[in-house]
């Protein structure tokens, strides 16, 4: 196919059934009404008045309109945080099944991308990974996704069953995900404890700009330390926000592991090696940052330790995204700065060829998700 696609792999939704769930709640996370306007309250420390929320979060026509406005051909939508984290295991399992079936319908009945074999919409599903859940129930949920042909992955927060994603009890879940060939989109929600942000009112800036990416960084470092990527070489982990601080801290992480009597023998390889085993969204907002991430990913083969794995350009593991419907323009402009900045970042990434840029804009997503 000669047409060059723009594929958005980081784009969220609250399905109507999920929005109803949030409306029925009196505690965070919730949707409340203030002066006749619905408000979303999901972040710890967020004022109880929250922020405006509307059809861009749940109406498929709004998603398609947004895609058309920005020239996006295909979106791989994922449920927005905090997923099912706040539910006990049994209601979470039931909501998961119902919501995943809604998501399949949302994607399956979306328009065809004209002149191609692609739908406009594909999905990444919920998993019932909540405190107290049984891992077998999670595995059954993963297996059930095989019946939903437009679901190409899952989105996963970092809390696991209460002990994080490096909890050894979760190994069967990772094995099932690897066997199913599903992309696992690792995405933050909790950030860092609100106390680290100080007493000044700075809106959501610090939790979103720093807390979110650092949560992802910590979760992935813990997975590297457990040796998960050694056990499951085919697991497809896609990291939100370009892997957070992992690329810039990976040599420090490697050095700390190498000098630690407890941890030094755990991962089979130097920590930097594992960067080349994962994928990264290109939601970094700047060309130099993207080029830097690619360079740390591409050099990973150098750290295989067997002299057999080649270095690559790293761009083959970056995939473009928007984070829609978050970060809408403050003045209601039609073109969203959060989209155009991420497009410009790819366009201007220093040293990238046109072929590499096309890959990041869409080709890599077609390959990774098997569209
Ligand atoms: O603006 C926000 O709060 C968010 C969020 O909660 N989740 C996300 O993916 N992006 C931005």
Contact 126, 83 (CB under 8 A): yes
CATH number where 156 lies: 3.20.20.140
Is residue 52 included in any domain, yes or no? no
- Assigned domain for 187 exists: yes
Q: 336: which residues sit within 8 A by CB, 6+ positions away?
A: 66, 70, 322, 324, 327, 328, 329
Retrieve residue 144's tokens: 């059930």
Return the SS3 of 326.
Answer: coil
Partner residues linked to 52 by β-bridges:
39
Q: Evaluate: CB of 208 within 6 angstroms of ligand 1.
A: yes
Whether the CB of 43 sits within 6 Å of ligand 1: yes
Quote the CA–CA distance of 358 and 6 in Å, as a whole number: 8
- Of all protein residues, the one whose alpha carbon is nearest to atom 6 of ligand 1 is 81
How far apart are the CA of 119 and the centre of ligand 1, in A? 26
| Inside any domain, residue 34 | no
The tens digit of pLDDT for each residue in 64-98 reads: 999 999 999 999 999 999 999 999 999 999 999 99
pLDDT at site 42? 94
Q: Which residues contact 220 (CB under 8 A, 6 or more apart)?
A: 186, 237, 239, 243, 244, 246, 278
Kindly tell me if the per-residue pLDDT of 3 is higher than 80.
no
Q: Report yes or no on 83 lying in a domain.
A: yes
Nearest CA to ligand 1 atom 4: 326
Which tops the pLDDT comparison, 47 or 285? Answer: 285
Give me the phi and psi of 351, to 5 degrees please.
Answer: 90, -5
Q: Which domain holds residue 221?
A: 7-14+60-369
Instruction: Please state the domain count of the chain.
Output: 1
How large is the average pLDDT for residues 315-331? 97
Assess if residue 26 is contained within a domain. Answer: no
Count of residues for the chain? 371
> What percentage of the chain exceeds 70 in pLDDT?
99
Separation CA 39–CA 174 (nearest Å)? 36
Planar angle of CA 320, 326, 331, nearest 5 degrees: 110
pLDDT of residue 19: 98
Q: Work out the pLDDT band at 1, boundaries 50, 70, 90.
A: very low
Q: How far is the CA of 288 from the centre of ligand 1 (A)?
A: 23
Burial class (CB in 10 A: 0-12, 13-18, 19+), 155: buried
For ligand 1, whether the C-beta of 11 sits within 6 Å is no
Distance CA 35, CA 27 (A): 19
User: What pLDDT is stored for residue 24 in this prediction?
Assistant: 97
Domain annotation covers residue 25 = no
Residue at 22 is within a domain: no
Q: Which residue puts its alpha carbon closest to atom 2 of ligand 1? A: 326
Residue 286 lies in a domain: yes
| Pocket perturbation via mutation, ligand 1, pick of 212, 244, 330 by most ligand atoms within 8 A of CB | 212
Q: How many Cα neighbours within 13 Å face the side chain of 151?
A: 28
Token pair of 63 as six digits = 């998603």
pLDDT at 269 over 50: yes
- pLDDT tens for 4-38 read 999 999 999 999 999 999 999 999 999 999 999 99
Give residue 308's pLDDT: 85
* Mean pLDDT score, 349-371: 98
């Amino acid at each position: 196919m000669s047409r060059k696609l723009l594929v958005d792999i980081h784009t969220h939704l609250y399905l109507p059934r999920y929005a109803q769930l949030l409306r029925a709640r009196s505690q965070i996370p919730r949707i409340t009404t203030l002066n006749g306007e619905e408000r979303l309250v999901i972040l710890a420390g967020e004022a109880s008045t929250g922020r405006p929320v509307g059809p861009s979060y749940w109406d498929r026509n709004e998603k398609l309109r947004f895609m058309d406005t920005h020239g996006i051909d295909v979106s791989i939508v994922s449920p927005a945080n905090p997923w099912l984290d706040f539910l006990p295991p049994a209601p979470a399992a039931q909501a998961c099944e119902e919501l995943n079936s809604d998501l399949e319908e949302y994607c399956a009945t979306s328009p065809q991308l004209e002149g191609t074999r692609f739908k406009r919409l594909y999905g990444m599903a919920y998993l019932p990974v909540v405190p107290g859940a049984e891992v077998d129930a999670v595995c059954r949920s993963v297996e059930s996704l095989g019946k939903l042909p437009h679901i190409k992955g899952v989105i996963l927060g970092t809390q696991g069953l209460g002990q994080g994603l490096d909890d050894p009890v979760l190994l069967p879940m990772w094995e099932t995900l690897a066997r199913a060939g599903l992309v696992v989109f690792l995405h933050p929600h909790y950030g860092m404890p609100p106390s680290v942000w100080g007493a000044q009112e700075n809106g959501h800036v610090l939790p979103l700009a720093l807390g979110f990416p650092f949560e992802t960084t910590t979760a992935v470092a813990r997975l590297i330390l457990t040796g998960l990527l050694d056990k499951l070489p085919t697991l497809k982990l896609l990291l939100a926000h370009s892997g957070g601080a992992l690329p810039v801290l990976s040599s420090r992480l490697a050095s700390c592991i190498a000098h630690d009597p407890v941890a030094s023998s755990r991962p089979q390889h130097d920590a930097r090696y594992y960067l080349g085993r994962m994928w990264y969204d290109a939601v970094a907002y700047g060309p130099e940052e993207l080029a830097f991430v690619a360079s740390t990913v591409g050099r990973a083969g150098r750290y295989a330790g067997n002299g057999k794995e080649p270095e690559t350009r790293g761009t083959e593991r970056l995939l473009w995204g928007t984070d829609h419907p978050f970060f809408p323009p403050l003045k209601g402009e039609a073109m969203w700065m959060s989209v155009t900045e991420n497009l410009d970042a790819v366009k201007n990434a220093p040293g990238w060829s046109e072929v590499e840029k096309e890959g990041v804009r869409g080709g890599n997503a077609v390959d990774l998700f098997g569209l």
